[in-house]
Amino acid sequence: METGHIGVLDGIRAIAVLIVLWFHFWQQTWLMPYYPTPFLAWLGISAIDLNPIRRCGYLAVDWMILLSGFVLFLPHARHRLEGTPLPTVWTFYRRRFARIVPSYLFAVLVMFFLALGSGTYAGRTDFLWRDLLSHLTFTFMLRPDTYLFSGINGVFWTVAIEVMFYAIFPLLGRGFEKKPLWTYLGMTIAGLAFTFGYCLQKADLPFYVNRFLTFLPVFANGMLGAYAYVRIAVRARRKPIWAVLGTLVAIGSAIGILTVFEACTHATSIQAFQLAYRYPLSLLYLGFTLGMCVSARPIRALLDNRVLAAIAAISYNLYLWHQFLIVRVRIALGCNSGADVAAMGVQTQWMLHFESLALALAAAALLTYLLEKPLHRLLCGRDMRILPQTNMGESNG
């Protein structure tokens, strides 16, 4: 089993980002993914209903978080179990900065000045500066106004969570490398205690649903996944039994993920459901990820292919820009909301989907290869050999 570049992870990252993108696109179009299938009636299938994935696509953000923990800890797991060199702390921080910050700052500044020009901050000078400075310093999630009512972009909160994790990862990585069980338990217990003992007791759940500590168990499961994968790769190599077990685990986990998404559609409180199911859902994400990594070659090819790898390569900028762009396209159509788009008919809904997707992919590709990668080479110089993949659009290997 390859422990350097794991192609399946690229595919999973692309799928997770596309699920989140689909949710945000649905918010702007109200296009319902329900397709009657009379030709399958003989199988007892009258329709294909993808509404649970569409309505609860925001849950895939947790998958992106888990992948980040997985691939960031992968070099540590290889160092522990294979004896490969480990990047220094300075190298880690330099790579994180070079990969994340330039594209993020460019997006923040462009969206801020567009919001400023459109009158979003009219009569709110204090909030204007607070919103901008908190985004430039990744601290906007500390206040309800800059987090929930920002004039810039609501999807940036995930970047803030990642930066918080980067800040303490060298410590967690070393701890997990030396004492994996105790570090895993410490991260998990701390996160669950904060989730159930504090956040779920609050009335204003929208502000508390995405606190950093609630994601700590998700990061821990990602790190556990990297450790388990390398351990399997070192001791077992690729054998038929692992392919069979991996495929079965991946299928079972996929069924579990879909079950949680379906349950989410019936939740009376979306935020309470997210918090309560964040840890068990991350275990299902972990099961699918590990299962696919060790599954049979034809199964792995579903995720380990050039199309998904290309999307994964631009996924960071795709995530940063997709929601902003579809809102702009909707406004250009003269629609104030998804309800207005739906009122114009299914053809308009599909048109908005495809035009926005094409625009988002094109913008992400341009920004990735003309801004992100050149700046990364400039900032990192020769230090470009081993780049851990994260949900923020990085190569892995």
C-beta atoms surrounding 212 within 10 Å: 18
**Residue 389, in any domain of the structure:** no
Write the single-letter amino acid at 217: P
Residue-averaged pLDDT of the chain: 91
Q: Which of 52-56, 182-186, 250-254 has the lowest mean pLDDT?
A: 52-56
**Domains of the chain: total:** 1
Say which range, 12-16, 231-235, 272-276, 323-327, has the weakest mean pLDDT: 231-235
Q: How confident is the model at residue 393 (pLDDT cuts 50, 70, 90)?
A: very low
> Which residues fall within 8 angstroms of residue 264, CB to CB, at 6 or more apart?
52, 55, 56, 59, 270, 273, 274, 277
8 A C-beta contact, residue 349 and residue 28 = no
Q: Is the pLDDT of residue 357 over 90?
A: yes
Instruction: Give a yes or no: residue 144 inside a domain.
Output: yes
Would you say residue 386 has pLDDT above 50?
Answer: no
pLDDT band at 319 (very low <50, low <70, confident <90, very high): very high
- Asked whether residue 229 is assigned to any structural domain, the reply reads yes
301 belongs to a structural domain: yes
Whether 2 is in a domain gets the answer: no
As a whole number of angstroms, the distance between CA 219 and CA 173 comes to: 11
Buried b (16+ CB within 10 A) or exposed e, 6-35: bbbbbbbbbbbbbbbbbbbbbbbbebeeee
pLDDT for residue 188: 98
395 found inside a domain = no
Residue 143 in this model has a pLDDT that exceeds 90? yes
User: What would the pLDDT profile of 74-121 be if each residue is shown by its tens digit?
Assistant: 999 999 888 888 889 999 999 999 999 999 999 999 999 999 999 999
Q: How many residues does the chain have?
A: 397
What backbone torsions phi and psi does residue 47 show, to the nearest 5 degrees?
-160, 155
Q: Is the pLDDT of residue 382 over 70?
A: no
* pLDDT (0 to 100) of residue 373: 94
pLDDT at 189: 98
* Cα 127 from Cα 272, distance rounded (Å): 29
Type of residue numbered 322 = H
Q: Check residue 224 and give its pLDDT.
A: 97
Q: Give the DSSP per-residue string, 180-239.
A: HHHHHHHHHHHHHHHHHHTGGG-S-HHHHTT-GGGGHHHHHHHHHHHHHHHHHHHHT-S-
Question: Per-residue pLDDT for 315 more than 50?
Answer: yes
State which residues form the domain around 294.
7-380
Cβ neighbours for 110, distance < 8 A, ≥ 6 positions apart: none
Task: Answer whether 17's CB lies under 8 Å from 64's CB.
Answer: yes
203 lies in some domain? yes
Task: Determine, yes or no, domain membership for 285.
Answer: yes
What is the rounded distance in angstroms from the CA atom of residue 7 to the CA atom of residue 293? 8
State the DSSP string of 79-146. Answer: HHHH------HHHHHHHHHHHHHHHHHHHHHHHHHHHHHTTTTTT-HHHHHHHHHHHHTT-GGGSHHH
Residue 61 to residues 58, 100, 175, 210, 284: CA-CA distances in angstroms?
Answer: 6, 17, 26, 10, 14
- Tens of pLDDT along 187-240? 999 999 999 999 999 999 999 999 999 999 999 999 999 999 998 888 776 678
